[in-house]
Amino acid sequence: MKFDGLLMIPGPVHLHERIIRAMNRQMIGHRGKEFGEIMEYCVERLKELFGTRGDVYIISGSGTAGLEAAIASFSKVRRITCVDNGKFGDRLGRIASRYTETDVVRFEWGQPVDLEVVERSLAEGSEALAFVHNETSTAMLNPAKELSRIAKKYNALVIMDGITSVGGDEVRMDEWGIDVAIVGSQKCIGAPPGLAAVAVNDRAWEFYSERCPFYLDLAAYKKKLPDMQTPYTPALPLFFALEEALRMIEEEGLENRIRRHRLLSKAVREWAIEAGLQLFPQPDELSNYSNTVTAIRMPDGITDKELRGTLQREYGIAISGGQEHLKGKIFRIGNMGNVSKRHVIATLAAVQDVLMRYNACKPALHAAIEILKEL
Amino acid sequence: MKFDGLLMIPGPVHLHERIIRAMNRQMIGHRGKEFGEIMEYCVERLKELFGTRGDVYIISGSGTAGLEAAIASFSKVRRITCVDNGKFGDRLGRIASRYTETDVVRFEWGQPVDLEVVERSLAEGSEALAFVHNETSTAMLNPAKELSRIAKKYNALVIMDGITSVGGDEVRMDEWGIDVAIVGSQKCIGAPPGLAAVAVNDRAWEFYSERCPFYLDLAAYKKKLPDMQTPYTPALPLFFALEEALRMIEEEGLENRIRRHRLLSKAVREWAIEAGLQLFPQPDELSNYSNTVTAIRMPDGITDKELRGTLQREYGIAISGGQEHLKGKIFRIGNMGNVSKRHVIATLAAVQDVLMRYNACKPALHAAIEILKEL
């Protein structure tokens, strides 16, 4: 038989059935009272997830649309420094260079950012800093607070890609001094893909540029926010799902949710180490392993196709491979959104089963179970 | 009791229950085989709707995102002429002016375009022409074939906003010489809002400009098309719904569907005339009344709030008012997507009921029923 699929990739995530059901309804007018109530609830809840008292704008589009809206709308800067230690850091630079002079500060993928190198770039005349909080391609958590602190020394605008951290890990925009941050619906929030939210404080508007795309011009979203509307027709089913996903977060409690994400990823890491595998990222004292996705080096004796193909075929479980030059060299297990310990243990058992057929790991489920007991 | 809502606005449209149900499922990997199959089916079917053998790119975003992708990606032109005889014509000019010199040729909203005036603008050195096929704000159908023919005399690129015509009215891109056209998911196709499709012929790429937004850069979509993937995470539930909506169009047959849209809008118009109301647009011999939405002048003795508020409260039916300076002056009834004669006759009966309380129209349902018999 063909199994129901289980998505354990770092987004789009497996949906809780309540969130699927929330889309099972008729359309409504997008200028009416009911939509306004949905929008208001989503905006208020997202503020808590971002840790901000600023505005939150919801865009119908992928996380990349949200990133570009943030970077382009606030591109009245002589120069921007973009931190690149993974695929999504690289993307920041590619977007920014369409709007202003861009200095991409590169580090090897999976290696920590060197704050001194970032500071040097800022000191050379950057008026903005953009970085990825949780770098999904390498499963590394970059030091958001410290990066922001350095940027503030130069009065630079701080833009943070929080696409895969907000809603699953600690984000405190206001406290950390982040001016603009972005999240995607299909990651830790646990909703389907297709919406991005951008949180913006008042200071960011000093950097507003009209030289931004019409569709991604955050001034248009700001103008419509008091009426709890969007400037262009919103993707209604995705708003229905987002509302339900945010209700589930409210019920769970943000602190509990972050604790769950941390324990689930810790279980994956402890299993990997005990199984004799190597974690891919090499965090230093300021950075950390991601709490929402884990990247593991592909062991000798098995190929990406053998591992992921067999998992998919025999277990119906999807995990991710590496991106770009990491293709075939790593595999990644996501634990974003409404993933339970049942999902994680089943995934680890399946991965272990396949790896052991190739003598590529030792049995180590007990290490994961030990951690998961705390949930 | 509170009624189930019936959306009779010109999009987002009321969904057929099959299309709602299509979203009632778990997420899948967006780089996998199943998604590729969905994408391939959607692309092939959309080609028929556009009347093209060119490429079709599907963007997660509203119709406006599709418009901007088209205009910005093909903006390597010295100047563009934008035809404005309604709100969406106006929008074309606002988008285009972010990318190149723009000459907006303005006509009063609801009045036909004057081809000589358009030609004069082209002759003055425009290398592209953009216009709206079906102008939803005024319910006027602009003469696409003739506009395209004039543009070709000057070798200009032709970009057509087909957001509210494709899938419900006749569109023959290749035959008419349209290089680029755009459709929205939530209009005549009958799917939920949140996707836009852009059809592009080979010639358009001569006008490709890298100075376009990253998210809306059609070159990235073109690169991923052979693999039947999208460059950024697609809004999966909306693709599931789009696939089902396109299957319903295939089952109905495009010719039948266009005939149905034409008869439904004709029924609304005949009712309005017989009821003593005035149609808003004033087409000439080249243009026409829209076949997908009808705009009617608000009669004396009743306000927009009284009409639409009562309809919503007592019947649960939503129709649209006027936009911008037409607010309160017109009301609009959409018949896009999977609207049946039952929906139309119920809407007209309800509108007539409310108008008659204010002595604002005569009974005229028989005129609509006479037309609807043909369906």
Per-residue pLDDT of chain A (375 residues; tens, 9 = 90+): 566 899 999 999 999 999 999 999 999 999 999 999 999 999 999 999 999 999 999 999 999 999 999 999 999 999 999 999 999 999 999 999 999 999 999 999 999 999 999 999 999 999 999 999 999 999 999 999 999 999 999 999 999 999 999 999 999 999 999 999 999 999 999 999 999 999 999 999 999 999 999 999 999 999 999 999 999 999 999 999 999 999 999 999 999 999 999 999 999 999 999 999 999 999 999 999 999 999 999 999 999 999 999 999 999 999 999 999 999 999 999 999 999 999 999 999 999 999 999 999 999 999 999 999 999
How close does chain B come to A215, measured CA to CA in Å?
6
Last residue of a domain, one of A210, A228, A251: A251
Shared domain check, B229 and B265: no
Give the B window 206-245 contacts with A, CB below 8 Å.
211, 213-216, 232-238, 241
Q: Using one digit for the tens of pLDDT, what is the confidence trace for B28-77?
A: 999 999 999 999 999 999 999 999 999 999 999 999 999 999 999 999 99
C-alpha pair distances (Å), B172 with each of A3, A194, B148, B169, B246: 43, 30, 11, 10, 18
Asked whether B268 and B348 are in contact (CB, 8 A), the reply is: yes
Q: Are B284 and B175 part of one and the same domain?
A: no
- pLDDT per position as a tens digit, A197-215: 999 999 999 999 999 999 9
ipTM > 0.90 for the complex: yes
Q: Count the alpha carbons within 13 Å of A198 in the hemisphere toward its beta carbon.
A: 30
- A247 and A285 both lie in a single domain: no
| Interface mutation target, options A3, A4, A23, chain B, most CBs of B under 10 Å | A23
Chain A contacts of B213, Cβ < 8 Å? 68, 72, 98, 213, 215-216
SS3 content of chain B, % helix, strand, coil (to 5): 45, 15, 40
What would the pLDDT profile of B186-199 be if each residue is shown by its tens digit? 999 999 999 999 99
For the stretch A59-86, pLDDT in tens is 999 999 999 999 999 999 999 999 999 9
Reduced to 3 states (helix: H, G, I; strand: E, B; else coil), residue A252 is: helix
Please give the mean pLDDT across all residues of chain B.
97
Do residue B243 and residue B322 come from a single domain?
no
B115 and B183 co-located in one domain: yes
Question: Are residues B151 and B242 both part of a single domain?
Answer: yes
In CATH, what number is assigned to the domain containing residue A76?
3.40.640.10
Angle at A193 between CA A294 and CA A147, to 5 degrees: 50
- The answer to whether residue B1 sits within a structural domain is no
How many other C-beta atoms lie within 10 A of the C-beta of residue B349?
A: 15
Per-residue pLDDT at B217 exceeds 80: yes
Question: How far apart are the C-alpha atoms of A147 and A142, rounded to whole Å?
Answer: 9
Same domain, A243 and A282: no
**pLDDT at residue B333 greater than cutoff 90:** yes
Of B229, B251, B273, at which residue does a domain stop? B251
Structural domain harbouring A181:
17-251
Q: What are the beta bridge partners of residue A321?
A: A331
Domain boundary among A251, A282, A316: A251
With CA atoms as reference, the chain A residue closest to B16 would be A26
Domain-embedded: residue B148: yes
Nearest CA to CA, how far is B25 from chain A (Å)?
Answer: 6
Whether B275 and B160 share a structural domain: no
**Does residue B192 sit at the A interface (CB-CB below 8 Å)?**
yes
CATH of the domain at A337: 3.90.1150.10
- Give the separation between CA B173 and CA B53, rounded to whole angstroms: 9
Largest Cα–Cα distance of chain B, in whole Å? 61
- What's the number of domains chain A is made of? 2
State whether B200 and B342 are in the same domain. Answer: no
At A2 the pLDDT is 64
Cβ pair B237:A186 closer than 8 A: no
Residue A238 lies in a domain: yes
Q: Are residues B71 and B50 in the same domain?
A: yes
Residue A1 lies in a domain: no
pLDDT at B2: 64
At A162 the pLDDT is 98
Quote the pTM value. 0.98
